[in-house]
Amino acid sequence: MLRMEGVSKSYNHRASAVTALRDANVQMDRGDYVSIVGPSGSGKSTLLLMLGGMLSPTGGRVIVDGASLYDMTPNQRAAFRKKNIGFVFQTFNLVPYLTAVENVQIPLFLAGKDEATQRDQANRLLERVGLSDRLDHKPSELSVGQQQRVALARVLANDPAVILADEPTGNLDPETSKQVIDFLDELNKEGRTIVMVTHDPRAAERAKSTLRLVEGTVLNGKAEPSLIAHG
Amino acid sequence: MQLRTLVWREIFERKNQLATSFLAILLGITAIVAIKNITFYSEKAVSRELDALGANILVLPKSATVQDYYSADMQDETFPEAYVTQLSTSDLKGLDNLSPKLSVPVTLQGRKFTLTGILPKSEFQAKAMWEGAGIFTRPEEGCGEIADMPDVFKPPVKETLVRKRVIDDLGPEEALVGADVGQLLKIAEGDYLDLLGQTFKVSAVLPQTGTVDDSRVFAHLHTVQEMTDQGAVINAIEIVGCCQEISAGLVQKINKLLPDAKVVTVTQVVDTQVKTNQMMASLSTVFLVIIVLVGGASIANYMYANVFERRREIGTLMALGAGSSVILRMFLLKGLLLGLVGGIGGYILGTVFAVTFGPRLAGIAVMPMPVLVLWAVGLSVGIALVASCLPARNAARLDPCATFQEI
Ligand SMILES: Nc1ncnc2c1ncn2[C@@H]1O[C@H](COP(=O)(O)OP(=O)(O)OP(=O)(O)O)[C@@H](O)[C@H]1O
Ligand SMILES: [Mg+2]
C-alpha cells in the first residue's frame, strides 16, 4: 500500500522557490495499476520519485507498506528500494559499459547473490522478455525497444512489489509501446502494484485508475477509475 | 558480477580519459624507482671501496694522486718505511691501525699483475708497540669505524674476516692470491708461484671483493723490499684513524709530522661518488614531491570529472538500491586499481631503466631490487587513494533524483 499524506515539494531555483507539488494526498492499494497523467511540468515525475524514496518532500509523509520512507536514513531507504521498489525510466538508464545480462545482474549483485545465481537468474529474466539471444550485447548494440526490455528485466530482478515507471513508452514506436504496456499488464496480474506516468492515452487507459495532476495539484486523491477501460 | 567487474569494465570503456593521469603516476613512479635503484648501488659501491681500503687515512708519496692509488695501485715513488715507526712512536692520538704497503708490477704466465708487500699482523704484535693491527681490516667497533662518517654505509664485515684470518700469519715465502688472479691462472691453495725469481707457496686464494685487491698478489713486505732491491721503502701507509680525531685535525698533524708525504682522507677518495649519491638523494626528494603533487592532482581531477560524467549512472545504481557505501567503494576501488597498476608498471619500467642506463649514468652495475616494488606500489596506491577520496565521497553523497532530471 502506498500513501502520501499532505506531501508538498518545492525546488529552490536561483533563490526563488518553484512549487512542483502542493499538498498531495494520495492512496494506492496493493495490486493497483495507476496511471498518472497531466501536462508537462505538472509534477508527475516529482511525485513518482518521491513515491520511490528518491526525493525528499518539503513537507508531509510518504508511507509504503506501513513504513514512512523519509523518516529513514538515506541508506535505509536504499535498502528499502532494493527490496521493494523497481524503477522504469523513459530513457531506460542502462549502464552503457555493461552487457544486457550484466545490467540485469546489478540488482542481484546489490542484493549480495553469488555470481552463478546472478548469471542464472539474469538469463532467465532476459529470456522472459525475449532477449535470450542478446545476452552479451551492450546497450549501444541493441535497438531502443530491446533496451527497454532489458530495463524491464532488470526491474524484475529483485522481484519488487511496487513498480514505478516514468513514461516507459515515451521513446518507443507504437508497436514496441504495446509490447511494453502488455508486459506491465502482465506484471500487474502477478500482483505487483504499478504506478506509471504517461502522456500516451492508450497506455493510460490500460491502467485500473488514473491520477490527474495540474500545476502541482492532484485533482483526485483516491485515483478514479479509468474512464475508457471501465466505462 | 562483482564490484570489481563493474569498476574494471568502466575503466576499459573509457580508458582514453584515464590515460593522462595514469601516465602521470606511472612515469612518476618509474623515475623514483630508477633513482632509488641506481642510488642504492652507487652507495654500495662507495661502501665497497671503503671496505677494500679498510682504512680512512692514506699516507702517499708527495707526487702521487689518490686516483693513482686507486686505479693502478702503482707508484714509482716511495718513501721510507721509517715513517711507520715515526708515526707509531709519536704522541698522536687516534691512530688505531697502520698498514704499510709496497706495490710492484709482476708478470705471471705472460699477464701483468701487482705484487703488494704487506706486514702480517704477527709482526705488528711482535713489535708490541701497535695495538690491534690488521692489514685490511678496521676494528669492528670503536672509534675508527667508518660508519660514523656521513653518507657512507657501514661496510660488510663478513667479507673481511676471511682475509683477516689469513693475514694474521704470513711467512716470508708465502703469498696470498687475489680472486681474479687465482681464477685466471688457475692457482689453488698450496700451489707454488714464481715471482721475480723467487718461489712462493700460496697460503690462500682470497675471496672475491670486487676491488683492485682481486687482481693482486700479496707477499710479506720485507720479502718484496728485498726482491726489488729498494731497501726499506714503501709507497703507502693505510691508517685507521678515529673519526673524532680526524675531525679534530689528525690529518694536519700527520702532515706536520711527515712533511714529505701526502696525507689524504678516504672521504676525498670517494668524494665524487658520495657527491653523486647526494645529488641522487635530493633528486629523489624532488621527484617525490613532484609525483605526489602532479600525480595526485591529476588523479583527483580525473576522478572529479569521472564522477560528474557518471552521475546519471550513479543515480541509476541508487535507484536500484545501491547505498552510499557501494558508490564510495566503487570509486575507491578504481583509485586502488589505478595506483596498483601504476605502481607495478612504474616499478618494472623504472627497474628496466636503472639496469639499462645505470652503468652509463653512474658507472656502476645495477641489479633489480624486488623490495622497491613494495615501495612503488605503496606510494602509488597511497597517492591514488588519497586523491580519489573526495571525489568518491562526492559521488556517494549525490542527490539521486537530480541525476535524472538534468538529462
Ligand atoms: N531540480 C529541479 N530544480 C528546480 N525545479 C525543478 C527541478 N525539477 C523539477 N522542477 C520543476 O518542478 C516542476 C515539476 O517537474 P516534473 O519533472 O515533476 O514535471 P513532469 O510532470 O514530470 O513533466 P514532464 O511531463 O515534462 O516530464 C516543473 O515546473 C519543473 O520545472
Ligand atoms: Mg517527467
Provide the β-strand partners of residue A16: A13
Q: Which of A11, A164, A200 to mutate to test the pocket of ligand 1 (most atoms within 8 A of CB)?
A: A11
Inside any domain, residue A171:
yes
A13 assigned to some structural domain: no
Overall average pLDDT of the B379-390 stretch: 95
Quote the pLDDT of residue B324: 92
In chain A, pLDDT over 90 holds for what percent of residues? Answer: 76
Would you state the pLDDT for residue B125? Answer: 44
Q: Which chain A residue has the Cα nearest residue B3?
A: A109
What is the arithmetic mean of pLDDT over A194-221?
89
Percentage, residues of chain B above pLDDT 90: 28
Q: Which domain holds residue A88?
A: 30-53+73-220
**How far apart are the C-alpha atoms of B335 and A53, rounded to whole Å?**
30
For B:314-353, CB contacts with A below 8 A are 315-326
Residue B267: the pLDDT is 65
| Cα(B403)–Cα(A156) distance, integer angstroms | 22
A170-194 residue pLDDT tens: 888 888 899 899 999 999 999 999 9
**B29-52 residue pLDDT tens:** 999 999 889 888 887 877 676 655
pLDDT tens per residue across span B139-191: 433 333 333 333 333 333 434 444 454 466 788 888 888 888 888 888 888 88
A110 CA to middle of ligand 2, Å? 27
Question: Among A104-113, B221-230, B325-334, whose mean pLDDT is lowest?
Answer: B221-230
Q: How many domains does chain A have?
A: 1
Residue B340 above 80 pLDDT? yes
- The reported pLDDT for the residue numbered B208 is 78
Cβ contact A93–B316 (<8 Å): yes
Cα A42 to ligand 1 centre (Å): 7
Q: What is the mean pLDDT of residues A64-84?
A: 92
Q: Give which of A163, A204, A184, A166 is closest to A30, Cα–Cα.
A: A163
Could you give the 3-state DSSP secondary structure of residue B96? strand
CA A18–ligand 1 middle distance (angstroms): 9
Asked if A110 lies within 8 A of B322 by C-beta distance, the reply is: yes
Q: Which of A209-223, B2-16, B379-393 has the lowest mean pLDDT?
A: A209-223
Measured between beta carbons, the chain B residues lying within 8 angstroms of A95 are: 6, 313, 316-317
User: Does residue A218 contact residue A190 with C-beta atoms inside 8 Å?
Assistant: no
Query: Which is higher by pLDDT, A96 or B70?
Result: A96
pLDDT mean over B259-275: 73
Which chain A residues are Cβ-neighbours of B316 within 8 angstroms? 89, 93, 95
State the pLDDT confidence band at B53, using cuts at 50, 70 and 90: low
Pocket test for ligand 1, best of A19, A46, A87 (most atoms within 8 A of CB): A46
Work out the average pLDDT over B381-400. Answer: 92
| Inside any domain, residue A60 | no
Q: The domain that contains A126 carries what CATH number?
A: 3.40.50.300
pLDDT, mean of residues B266-277: 67
The confidence score (pLDDT) of residue A139 equals: 95
pLDDT of residue B406: 46
Inside any domain, residue A134: yes
Give residue ranges of A with CB < 8 Å to any B CB: 45, 49, 52, 54-55, 74-75, 78-79, 81-83, 87, 89, 91, 93, 95-98, 102, 105-111, 115, 118, 154, 158
Mean pLDDT calculated for residue range B11-24: 89
pLDDT digits (tens, 9 = 90+) for A107-127: 999 999 999 999 999 999 999
Q: Over chain B, what is the mean pLDDT?
A: 79
Q: Which of A54, A75, A154 sits opposite B323 (nearest CB)?
A: A75
Name the band, by pLDDT with cuts 50, 70 and 90, for residue B75: low
Residue B396 has pLDDT above 80, yes or no: yes
**Model pLDDT, residue B248:** 67
Least confident of A205-214, B162-171, B342-351: B162-171
Q: How confident is the model at residue B402 (pLDDT cuts 50, 70, 90)?
A: low
Kindly report, residue by residue over A14-34, the tens digit of the pLDDT: 888 889 999 999 999 999 999
A87 chain-B contacts, CB cut-off 8 A: 319-320
pLDDT given at position B11: 92
CA–centroid distance, A32 to ligand 1, in Å, is 25
- Best residue among A18, A89, A167, A214 to mutate for probing ligand 1, ranked by most atoms within 8 Å of CB: A18
Residues at CB less than 6 angstroms from ligand 1: A 11, 13, 18, 20, 38, 40-46; B 402, 405
> SS3 string of chain A?
CEEEEEEEEEEEECCEEEEEEEEEEEEECCCCEEEEECCCCCCHHHHHHHHCCCCCCCEEEEEECCEEHHHCCHHHHHHHHHHHEEEECCCCCCCCCCCHHHHHHHHHHHCCCCHHHHHHHHHHHHHHCCCCCCCCCCHHHCCHHHHHHHHHHHHHCCCCCEEEEECCCCCCCHHHHHHHHHHHHHHHHCCCEEEEECCCHHHHHHCCEEEEEECCEECCCECEECHHHHC
Report CA B3 to chain centroid distance, whole Å: 44
Q: What is the value of ipTM here, to two decimals?
A: 0.92
Whether residue A67 is contained in a domain is answered as: no
Contacts of B312 in chain A (CB under 8 A): 93
| Residue in B5, B12, B326 closest to A110 by CB | B326
Looking at the domain assignment, is residue A117 inside a domain? Answer: yes
A194 within a domain of the structure (yes/no): yes
* Domain presence at residue A204: yes
pLDDT tens digit sequence for B247-262: 667 788 888 888 888 8
Residue percentage of chain A with pLDDT more than 70: 95
